Structure 1
């Protein structure tokens, strides 16, 4: 279809330009390694600080997970896909780079230099964990030290899960992943999200589509026919 052909052509042209402009010192393996080591290190540190946590303290993971799911949905919808005064750089990086590099017909990545457009920048996991620290300190003060550490490790683990599922969503032509329950759903929903005409309105959860379902922004499958869409104002 002409729409898909035009999207594919623009995306591949942008890819060529973006990769050509990537600094020669960039290594995707180091980018990925830092994300894994930092978030994993935070999780391990918090686990080593726990002192005989009770079941009630571990159950705090449930509301924290639900809060993380809402924060993921809200940040993706209202920060990454809407220009704002204080987060314009993040918006531009997400919409003008990630969504031009990857579309519903060019979702795949090839080689480590493509990871620069796939993963959040290296400062993102640091900023995410630092933003969670005051929240964890309050929980630790109000409830227990264990609860505070569990809060922090839950947020770090959520970020790691987000990056992991997002990366799997950009692995194309994988019969194995297409058969894995839950993962295949996340992958299917993410294809729809990367349609340029749907990215600002559909499928903002990259992990569990809880808030997308609750707030009516879930669309289960990409359109098979290119019916006209009302243009957004």
Structure 2
């Protein structure tokens, strides 16, 4: 029998990778198109969030009334974590040890919290410590390009799924008036 702690660590590792694909799938198929009569996520994200925040200077918050459109609803984290935990729970039932589920739930919860925090920092920059590292600038440019090309760069946290599923774009296809700032990289086409 595999020890609980090893299964928990395995669940954490698998959970982070799985969360990238979960985020990508949710973003592409639920947040960017209605699913039958379920339009809540589509309206909140594709219609409202993308209408307020584009890839130009409006990528950053300009009107305080729009602040509420940056994060997901308060209850989304718990619901998404529970949905993401389902395959982990099924595997735990098979092996008779809940460590894998514990790791998966921890991974999903951490991924979601990290998503919300860096997404908030991307659209409402304040020169926070998290906005200074190179990895944040890369992810911010990645997300900025999503606001330019809504059917590319669906990941915010870990662009592994974007890379493996063919939706990764590293630079703009054409020149555009992009958002600027200390934590925003230049994503314009490379000059030839």
TM-score normalized by the length of structure 2: 0.77
For residue 218 of structure 1, what is the aligned residue in structure 2?
A: 168
Residue 61 of structure 1: aligned partner:
12
Q: Is the 8 A contact 1:107 1:191 kept in 2?
A: yes
Partner of 1:187: 140
Per the alignment, in what secondary structure is the counterpart of residue 54 of structure 1?
helix
Q: Are the counterparts in 2 of residues 61 and 154 from structure 1 also a CA contact under 8 Å?
A: yes
Q: By how many angstroms is 1:217 displaced? A: 1.1
Q: 2: CA distance between counterparts of 1:151 and 1:179? A: 29
Task: Determine if contact 1:177/1:184 at 8 Å carries over to the other structure.
Answer: no
Distance 1:149 1:168 in 2: 28
Among 66, 71, 90, the residue aligned to 1:138: 90
Q: How big is the shift at 1:180?
A: 0.7
After TM superposition, give the deviation of residue 174 of structure 1 in Å.
4.3
Unpaired runs of 5+ residues, structure 2, are 177-192
| Structure with bigger gyration radius | 1
Matches within 5 A, 1:1-233: 53-105=4-56, 106-109=58-61, 113-143=65-95, 144-172=97-125, 174=127, 179-195=132-148, 198-199=149-150, 201-223=151-173, 225-226=175-176
Structure 1 consecutive aligned stretches of length 4 or more whose deviation exceeds 6 Å: none
TM-score of the two chains, using structure 1 as the length reference:
0.65
Contact 2:12-2:106 within 8 A present in 1 as well: no
Once the 2 structures are TM-superposed, how far is the Cα of residue 204 of structure 1 from its aligned partner? 0.4
Aligned-residue RMSD, C-alpha: 2.5
Compared with structure 1, are the counterparts of its residues 179 and 63 closer, same or farther at alpha carbon in structure 2 (3 Å cutoff)? same
* Contact residue 30 and residue 41 of structure 2 kept, 8 A: yes
Q: Judge conservation of contact 2:15–2:103 (CA < 8 Å) in 1.
A: no
> 1:153: how far off?
1.6
Question: Equivalents in 2 of 1:126, 1:160: separation in Å?
Answer: 10
For residue 125 of structure 1, report the CA deviation from its aligned partner: 1.5
Aligned residue for 2:134, secondary structure, equals coil
Question: Does the Cα contact within 8 Å between 1:107 and 1:172 map onto a contact in 2?
Answer: no
- Unpaired segments of 5 or more residues in structure 1? 1-51, 227-233
Q: Deviations over 1:140-188 (max 9, x none)?
A: 3223122222221221111112112211221348496664121111100
